[in-house]
Chains A and B, each alone.
Chain A
Amino acid sequence: MSNPQWQTPEARRRLARRHASERRFKALGLGAIVLSMAFLVLLLVIMLKNGLGGLDWSFLTGSDSTSPDMAGVWGAAKGSLLTMFVTLVLAFPMGVLAAIYLEEFAPKNKWIDLVEVSINNLAAVPSIIFGLLGLAVFINTLHLPRSSPVVGGLTLALMTMPVIVISGRNAIKAVPPSIREAAYGIGASKVQTTFHHVLPLALPGILTGTIIGMARALGETAPLLMIGMRAFVATPPGGITDPSSVLPMQIFLWSDEIDKGFVQNTSAAIIVLLVFLLAMNGLAIYLRNKFEVRW
């Protein structure tokens, strides 16, 4: 307490200014969070108020109908599940393999740089364009059944794969090089090093990225419009080649109806979709914690 420099009015003012700027930043950050959370809460409150009344067993087990009282969400939900299944089965292995190849095996040259840029671009392409691509390739050229989860899943897989590749590469890159050296040092081959040591450590990050990509695909509507998944489907799809709808599409269709009863259905379907998304994000957190290795 002896240094008089800290006691001058000038020094005190400077300290006070620094503390004030710190308080300002905290307030600003808190404000940003409160504002965005407020909108989420507003959405939830409105949806629950409008939709909770319509959420009953017949709504959860029924399919689309011209009468709002008869209409249910199960057909669309099953369509979503089947579509997500196709997407996951295609996008996950392809995305992970591509990420492993690019990160661990690919030579460093211009072609690989080009591939990298392309994948980053692909992840940013507007989804409606993937829809057009799906329409042109899967329906018009390959003649796969229109409005079906298989075509929806293929289209969404194209969209999700780049997301998985990018998050997968980041997760692989984050594995410390010392682990690779340790494996090489006792004579593990490159494939053994990658699959026995690098991949298990990168798995939590890969899974998190995958689920975030899947959650985005689950909420996607635009590309599915293009491939005809906006059809009126009154029975739940029996398999991936049957015509079907998906949850966000059902919400879109109902919100377009004139009948008042569909307003409640729209909100109720939104609640179902949000529960789906919440469950997926919860799963992402659970998987990350379960597979995370600490050292």
Chain B
Amino acid sequence: MTEPKLIARNVDVYYGEKKAIDNVSIDIDNGIVTAFIGPSGCGKSTFLRSLNRMNDTIAGAKVTGEILLDGEDIYAASMDPVALRARVGMVFQKPNPFPKSIYENIAYGPRIHGLAQGKAQMDEIVERALTKAGLWDEVKDRLSDAGTALSGGQQQRLCIARAIAVSPEVILMDEPCSALDPIATARIEELIDELKNSYAIVIVTHSMQQAARVSQRTAFFHLGNLVEYGETSQVFTTPREDRTKDYITGRYG
């Protein structure tokens, strides 16, 4: 067993006075998909956003405890949140491509991080990212079209490609399929399954079926607590905690 990619220890997240996450400790491994499930407002998205310091952009949000990426404290003064977010990419609930061309959507990240020397290399990065996101064949003839003109599912794959383009180590996905129809959702789930070989993937989802389909580990959050964390098959078939059992059998949530 290798070192976990991300280690969280005793993490609390506050929004002003309100405690949204209470003492969460979790290890997240490379090469697998980890799902965060739980009812609305349980803090799963909040915790996800503390893994790449997106909470920094919200006024009044405060994170205490320790989160280590490859053993490095991401909240240490020496950690630049800008560099961190290139290493820990994020895909959001609503597809949010930039209102620019498909090419520009992908090229923006590599450009600001200086990943490409010259146009040819940038073309290569764009093609590789779109190919990995399973979108290349659909858009290769219209890279200069607006990213916002694509369908919802394509837009979300574009956002995944945009995240991949800066070569992250971890990809965080915040309910990436909740705005998509079942067919587009299936495409994204296939994609997640392929991507897990190259990245550590953490996905927040409302759909327990989705968690069961795509993830190898599942963490169940409730009222800001991490209630149960284990192999997905174990969490769904033989949950240790009553609260988990009640949730997955549909008694609340």
Contact = CB atoms under 8 A, between A and B. Distances in A.
Interface of A: 107-108, 176, 178-189, 192, 196-197, 201, 293-295
Contacts of A178: 92, 94, 96
Interface string B72-96: 0000000000111110011110101
Interface of B: 52, 54, 57, 59, 82-86, 89-92, 94, 96-99, 108-109, 112-113, 146, 148, 159, 162-163, 165-166
B129 to A, nearest CB: 11
29 contacts: A107-B59, A176-B96, A178-B92, A178-B94, A178-B96, A179-B98, A179-B99, A182-B98, A183-B108, A184-B54, A184-B57, A185-B52, A185-B85, A185-B89, A185-B90, A185-B92, A185-B163, A186-B108, A186-B109, A186-B162, A186-B163, A187-B82, A187-B85, A187-B109, A187-B113, A196-B112, A201-B99, A293-B99, A294-B99
A106 to B, nearest CB: 10
A174 to B, nearest CB: 13
A186 B96 contact: no
Contacts of B165: 186
Given A183-B98, A187-B166, 11 more contacts: A181-B96, A182-B92, A182-B159, A183-B108, A185-B89, A186-B165, A189-B82, A196-B108, A197-B98, A293-B99, A295-B146
A141 to B, nearest CB: 40
Contacts of A196: 108, 112
Contacts, number: 71
A69 B177 CA distance: 76
Contacts of A176: 96
Contacts of A201: 99
A103 to B, nearest CB: 13
Contacts of B112: 186-189, 192, 196
A181 B91 CA distance: 10
Contacts of A107: 59
Nearest to A184: B57
Contacts of B57: 180-181, 184
B48 to A, nearest CB: 12
Given A179-B96, A293-B99, A295-B148, A185 B54 contact: yes
B86 A186 contact: yes
Contacts of B84: 187
